[in-house]
Structure 1
Amino acid sequence: MLPYLNRELSWLEFNQRVLNEALRPDLPLLERLKFLAITASNLDEFFQVRVGGLMLIRRSGRQRKDLSGMTPNQQIQAIRKRVLTFLDDQYALLSGTLLPELEKQGLLLLPIDSLDSVQSEQVSAHFHSHVGPLLTPLAIDPDGPPPQIPALQITLACRLVDDETGEVRHALVPIPENMNRRVPVESDAESQAFVLIEEVVARHAGSLFPGETLAATAVYRVTRNGDIAVQEEDAIDLAGEMEDVLAARKIADTVRLELGTPMPRDLSKVIQDLCHATAAETYRCPGPLGLSGFMDLAFAPGFDHLRDPDWPAQPSPDIPPTEPVFEAISRGDILLHHPYESFEPVVRFLAEAATDPDVLAIKQVLYRTAKNSRIIDALIRAAENGKQVTVLVELKARFDEARNLVRAEELQRAGAQIVYGVKGLKTHAKICMVVRREAGRLRRYVHLGTGNYNESTSRLYTDISLLTCRPEYGADASLFFNAVTGRSKLLRFQRLVPAPTAMKPRLLSLIASEAERARQGEPARIIAKINSLQDPEIIAALYDASAAGVSIQLNVRGICCLKPGNSKRQKNIQVVSIIDRFLEHARILYFHNGDDPEVFIASADWMGRNLDRRVELMVPVEDNRARRRLIKTLETYFRDNTQASRILPDGSSEKIKPAQGEKPFRAQEHFYREARRSAKAREHERAMRFDPHLPPE
């Protein structure tokens, strides 16, 4: 049996690396708070999806072990043990360090019992004017159906005593998600003070129950199973089926119950009974629930000195700001490294296509989009301008389904042709094609990337964009869209490598080729930057390549089921993970290939779900300049000795530190400085060049 780390525990170690950033005393305070909020948000999704899935497997009675040798029940128990330690670390950091330090800096989270009379009156007025009218108390009828509380909503449980009869009953007060978590209170001129909305509601909830005394309160938060799949085989209307899934997810089975402290015993039992939660699903939190809600505090105005200095995205030196994007692409392939280089050229690519009279058609895949997406606005404008617009909107993009449904309807009303994904598969490829009439012929311009068409996350995630008008790529793009919209097969591609049909076989072939070269005594090397590594066949191939002598460097941000070690099949494999201010999201692959490197970018990670159950694209980069740049980018990551961690044989990690006499090196900072330098150099070059106005011919 090959050495294999458990997927779920590996993910929890990734989240620990994120928490380690919050634990760093050298980071600005609000950056530390931001990382803490991210760990909580990550954990919410982990429970919804991964723990939810494991609980469904356990309930079905299946006890098949995973490749690490653990049954579903063993995994659930190991997860709980690790999460309990993680929660202790989170709350110790928040209560013992971050909140006291923020108070010194003028950001005060006040317990409601500490308010003076003026502050108390202010909070009371706020409750009666802005909070109370929005609350909906829900009675708990012992003989009736339980109230349905949506997932991840902080809820107040109340013990009430009738003033006349003394009868005791219980009720719930859900706190609406769109309500500001922080309620400001008066403080001195140099500070901002606030109390949490759940404490405000707890203090004033008695006013919601006239004739009764509010005897006790407690807060809780339930996480429900989000691993509910659409039944596509029976779905006549996929959009309607997806709406049913979204509704079911709100009231699905409990996978985690978070209880605030202190928690009266009777309220604890009432809440557990309502949520059908056992002790194994219950987590008692020694502080505020929903730590992801502290993200907005990390961006509180007026405290820029407690955050990292801004790194604004730089313009690409290959795309002059006044030149149409199509003209720039026609000169040669353009590679963009986001967010160091702006995502704006990709938005311009579509915005210009929407109004260009020579553009006849636009075809695009949308997986996750921004809240107020300029890209979707451009597609709507293009359709309204009479262009043929075809958009594959992936309705199965987990937790973005509702937004995708709404925007798909807007596109359809504008006249766009909408396809709701591919039956049985998620479409995760990042591709857009614009067909333009030039000199009496049709020319195809293509954008291919590693990240979503999302202007918001493009400022936070590191990704790669490739803009090209190479005929082979355009022909492949047409084949791709014909396949996903017309249900034809993903075959006969010249350059692009699609999943689930060709990507895994091609990767296995590339790895095996390096292994064979190593056996022949030739230099052999693989470098891969991916977000997750779990696929057993890929891992086995990497072990074989390592045993053959291939030098393998893996930069894996999150899940890594490959187990590093000192055995023959492991010793040539180095695995690092980088956590920094931007989320590492780009997938870049390098194979030495006898000193004629093959370099790819991809939408897919090396996970079974990506390679076998999703429509993905791996894109060879053939432009020499772009290829060299990507190789240098990969190598730069392995120079990082400040933000990189080394993955250890037990799945945990240790921070890589500068060796004695070695200077600290931070990859993300290097990329930002390089982008600034390139942008300034091109700006200087343009300033020194004079282009005369010539008379018409």
Structure 2
Amino acid sequence: MSSSSYINRELSWIEFNQRVLSEAQRKEKALLERLKFLAISASNMDEFFQVRVGGLTLLKSTGSRKKDIAGLTPTQQLLAIKKRISLQIHEQYVLYNTELLPQLKENGINFCAPKDLPRHIEDFVRLRFTEAISPLLTPLSFEPDESDNDTPPLTLPAMTLIVACVIQAKNKTNRVVFIPINEGIERFIQVGDQGEHYIIPIEDAIAQYANQLFPGESVHSHSVFRITRNGDIVVQEEDAIDLAGEMEEVLSARKTSNTVRVELRSGCSRLLENAIKQITNASPEQIYRIDGALCLNDFMQIAFISGYEDLKAPSWEPQSSAEIDYQNSIFDEIAKKDILLYHPYHSFDPVIRFIEEAATDPDVLAIKQVLYRTAKHSRVIDALIRAAENGKQVTVLVEIKARFDEARNLHRAEELQRAGVQIVYGVKGLKTHAKITLVIRKEAGSIKRYCHYGTGNYNESTARLYTDASILTARNDFGSDASLIFNAVTGRSKLLTTKRLFPAPTHMKKRLLELIASEASRAKSGEKAAITAKVNSLQDKDIIDALYKASKAGVNIRLNIRGICCLKTGTRKEAKNIEVVSVIDYYLEHARVFQFHQGGDELLFISSADWMTRNLEKRVELMIPVADEDIKLQLIDILEAGFKDNQQAHRILTDGSSERIIEEGKPSFRMQEYLQKKATQASKAKAYLRTTTFEPHTPK
């Protein structure tokens, strides 16, 4: 295939973020829900610059002219990113300034600088600044030509707002001072008064009262800016003797790494702009002039402000699974049959309970688990510590290379180790991204294995926000495969052929290519052939080429892809049978589910891996076949729902952009609403059955 057959990964990601932003632009949505999606689009953009733009900037600095699958060099990609993302930023701020701020004001939520507040509110804010904020500020004086003397250069923190001031002495001489706003200072001062809610951005308060910090001088002018540094700095594992120590050095290096973006509030004076350029060493193409408040992701906290429920989307609550009798031991329930949980429609509690019950069950001998990301206050960590203290053999692989969670995972690993848990810091040369827990239990004089396999992290916080699949099983072959996986990642043993699972990087990609080719072969023979898949991203060239060949052979291919899609749709022979949709809604779509028709013998899989080269070749991942026929039907229903959605779904177009799917005259169908109602109805039906059925206690 030529490069014209693919979409650039970075540009495809920007189009995904455009779909997120389009939710904020929908006038029919609740006002604070629109603000939430605007904040999400800004947060997404921050990580994109840190990681993707950071990596490309590093490649450019080495002189690399290596082209991606779309035929673009790092320099060409950076130019294309700048052009496209500048348009997106413009849309963000047109929306923010002309729609959201005025409508918030109409509803009593007022964003104000201190000078625009009622007098008594302004007096309160000034006092608050003097007593609670001023002591936390550390002004840093900067001389524009100080690089020519022996003074060590200033290093300003990244990803935080910085107020830049021109300070004027009584003799009219000027100097530049930078005031970083550290993490301990809240972004907004909020004051309620007579039905009105006043929100004062902290940078405006600092600018207003900065004179307090400079006795005998005055603030002549000010501006606000923010630095984004390259976050694509990874540990060099080949030479690492102490991986934890090396990771701490990487975290430190990120704080002073090269600048990849400077956001600068419009209207900044030339003196301040020159000083900012000098201290950040930013090139002109790395400067983004912003017409409004910086760091829009902080506005997420305003989206969840209390007392304005009529401005929010109706909330959905996770439901108890109708497949589980919560009066019984979770092990008894799993022993009866495989259990599918589709979060957050189904509560994550059974997964937590699985680990918590294992921690205290006297018959449990060992617990083994892979942790990639965990909640801030994690019940999973608490249960593992409790299990170790109760004398269980507990082994945990903590992936300390999980980007932006490295520090937390290092801390968690140390916490677990102190409790007596056997810790492994991932696998050399690979990230371990598999979602797996193995519990080994003594029953009737023999050993029985219980497993949890999932598509999402063991994080009870994100389990309320991300859609993910969990399968709890006590099948022997799945249990023995789990032991093989853990022996390989913790014991450095060879990963032999598994009975049911397909791990990456050893088996998964090969199996996927075989399954795609098998469908193509059936189509060539005149049989019905179909592939339906739900993934977060599709980037791997081999998978894309295999899908093109299958489409050309007549396979009906439907893909539900939330984010990156490097496959180019269209009417070309190799793409005419491929449909790609993307659903952006209340929950973040995160589950990976694959279906292959196989002549009517439907093969269903859930997986921790997206169809990206990094997942298939550079990570330890798992693809789990679905053995239970009822679970197959449930997953097929979930897959089908994504292609019925005519409320929150977008169609991916040939150039990688998107258009919202609107079907005039057809009944409205919203996938997430359908799945929420289905889970709620099943839970209520099970609860009703329990109230109308008397079940006697019998001797054990």
Q: TM-score, normalised by structure 2?
A: 0.98
Structure 1 partner of 2:676: 672
CA distance in 2, matches of 1:168, 1:688: 81
Structure 1, residues 11-63: CA drift from partner, whole Å, max 9, x if none?
00000000000000111000000000000000000000000000011111111
CA distance in 1, matches of 2:64, 2:29: 46
Structure 1 partner of 2:666: 662
Q: What secondary structure, in the 3-state scheme, does the structure 2 residue paired with 1:211 have?
A: coil
CA distance in 2, matches of 1:266, 1:124: 28
The Cα of 1:186 is off from its aligned counterpart by 5.4
Counterpart among 232, 241, 256 of residue 236 in structure 1: 241
Counterpart among 282, 285, 308 of residue 280 in structure 1: 285
Structure 2 partner of 1:145: 152
Counterpart among 680, 683, 693 of residue 689 in structure 1: 693
Q: How does 1:511-660 map to 2 (within 5 A)?
A: 511-659=516-664
Q: Is the contact between residue 514 and residue 592 of structure 1 (CA under 8 Å) also seen in structure 2?
A: yes
The answer as to 2:28 corresponding to 1:23 is no
The Cα of 1:180 is off from its aligned counterpart by 1.4
The Cα of 1:213 is off from its aligned counterpart by 2.2
Q: How does 1:443-454 map to 2 (within 5 A)?
A: 443-454=448-459
Q: 1:675 to 1:186 in 2, by over 3 A?
A: closer
The one-letter code matched in structure 1 to 2:614 is R
Structure 1, residues 435-475: CA drift from partner, whole Å, max 9, x if none?
00000111000000000000000000000000001000000
Q: How does 1:52-71 map to 2 (within 5 A)?
A: 52-71=54-73
Structure 1, residues 387-411: CA drift from partner, whole Å, max 9, x if none?
0000000001000111111111110
**How much is the aligned-residue C-alpha RMSD, in angstroms?**
1.0
Structure 2 partner of 1:136: 138
Counterpart among 364, 367, 371 of residue 372 in structure 2: 367
Counterpart among 185, 188, 202 of residue 182 in structure 1: 188
The Cα of 1:308 is off from its aligned counterpart by 1.2
Structure 2 partner of 1:199: 204
Task: Single out whichever of 111-120 and 431-440 deviates more from structure 2.
Answer: 111-120
The Cα of 1:364 is off from its aligned counterpart by 0.3
The Cα of 1:210 is off from its aligned counterpart by 2.1
Structure 1 partner of 2:115: 113
The one-letter code matched in structure 2 to 1:157 is A
Structure 1, residues 255-289: CA drift from partner, whole Å, max 9, x if none?
00000122011000100110000110000000000
CA distance in 2, matches of 1:343, 1:118: 47
Structure 2 partner of 1:159: 166
The Cα of 1:185 is off from its aligned counterpart by 3.7
Could you tell me which runs of 5 or more consecutive residues in structure 1 were left unpaired when the two chains were aligned. Answer: none
The Cα of 1:318 is off from its aligned counterpart by 1.3
Structure 2 partner of 1:476: 481
Structure 2 partner of 1:81: 83
Q: What secondary structure, in the 3-state scheme, does the structure 1 residue paired with 2:42 have?
A: helix
Structure 1 partner of 2:386: 381
Structure 1 partner of 2:45: 43
Structure 1, residues 409-436: CA drift from partner, whole Å, max 9, x if none?
1100000000000000000000000000
The Cα of 1:306 is off from its aligned counterpart by 0.8
Structure 2 partner of 1:258: 263
Q: What secondary structure, in the 3-state scheme, does the structure 2 residue paired with 1:21 have?
A: helix
Q: What secondary structure, in the 3-state scheme, does the structure 1 residue paired with 2:569 have?
A: coil
The Cα of 1:484 is off from its aligned counterpart by 0.4
CA distance in 1, matches of 2:196, 2:314: 21
Structure 2 partner of 1:101: 103
The Cα of 1:368 is off from its aligned counterpart by 0.6
Identity, in percent, stands at 57
Counterpart among 436, 439, 442 of residue 434 in structure 1: 439
CA distance in 1, matches of 2:322, 2:119: 60
Q: Is the contact between residue 113 and residue 205 of structure 2 (CA under 8 Å) also seen in structure 1?
A: no
Structure 1, residues 111-149: CA drift from partner, whole Å, max 9, x if none?
333123322211110101110011111122413222212
Q: Is the contact between residue 460 and residue 583 of structure 1 (CA under 8 Å) also seen in structure 2?
A: yes
The one-letter code matched in structure 1 to 2:463 is S
The Cα of 1:5 is off from its aligned counterpart by 0.3
The one-letter code matched in structure 1 to 2:158 is A
Q: What secondary structure, in the 3-state scheme, does the structure 2 residue paired with 1:619 have?
A: strand
Q: Is the contact between residue 490 and residue 498 of structure 1 (CA under 8 Å) also seen in structure 2?
A: no
Q: What secondary structure, in the 3-state scheme, does the structure 1 residue paired with 2:438 have?
A: strand
CA distance in 2, matches of 1:376, 1:186: 39
Structure 2 partner of 1:12: 14
The aligned length equals: 693
Q: What secondary structure, in the 3-state scheme, does the structure 1 residue paired with 2:44 have?
A: helix
CA distance in 1, matches of 2:196, 2:473: 52
The one-letter code matched in structure 2 to 1:152 is M
Q: Is the contact between residue 114 and residue 125 of structure 2 (CA under 8 Å) also seen in structure 1?
A: no
The one-letter code matched in structure 2 to 1:417 is Q
The one-letter code matched in structure 1 to 2:109 is L
Could you tell me which runs of 5 or more consecutive residues in structure 2 were left unpaired when the two chains were aligned. Answer: none
The one-letter code matched in structure 2 to 1:18 is V
Q: What secondary structure, in the 3-state scheme, does the structure 2 residue paired with 1:662 have?
A: coil
CA distance in 2, matches of 1:446, 1:246: 34
Q: Is the contact between residue 343 and residue 464 of structure 2 (CA under 8 Å) also seen in structure 1?
A: yes
The answer as to 2:124 corresponding to 1:122 is yes
The one-letter code matched in structure 2 to 1:412 is Q
Q: What secondary structure, in the 3-state scheme, does the structure 2 residue paired with 1:77 have?
A: helix
The Cα of 1:234 is off from its aligned counterpart by 1.2
The one-letter code matched in structure 1 to 2:186 is N
CA distance in 1, matches of 2:192, 2:318: 38
Q: What secondary structure, in the 3-state scheme, does the structure 2 residue paired with 1:638 have?
A: helix
CA distance in 1, matches of 2:696, 2:288: 72
Q: Is the contact between residue 119 and residue 186 of structure 1 (CA under 8 Å) also seen in structure 2?
A: no
The Cα of 1:217 is off from its aligned counterpart by 1.2
Q: What secondary structure, in the 3-state scheme, does the structure 1 residue paired with 2:458 have?
A: coil
CA distance in 1, matches of 2:120, 2:392: 62
The Cα of 1:677 is off from its aligned counterpart by 0.8
Q: Is the contact between residue 256 and residue 283 of structure 1 (CA under 8 Å) also seen in structure 2?
A: yes
Q: What secondary structure, in the 3-state scheme, does the structure 2 residue paired with 1:522 have?
A: coil
The Cα of 1:66 is off from its aligned counterpart by 1.1
The one-letter code matched in structure 2 to 1:674 is K
CA distance in 1, matches of 2:519, 2:473: 29
Q: Is the contact between residue 223 and residue 268 of structure 2 (CA under 8 Å) also seen in structure 1?
A: yes
Task: Single out whichever of 614-623 and 684-693 deviates more from structure 2.
Answer: 684-693
Task: Single out whichever of 446-455 and 95-104 deviates more from structure 2.
Answer: 95-104
Structure 2 partner of 1:339: 344
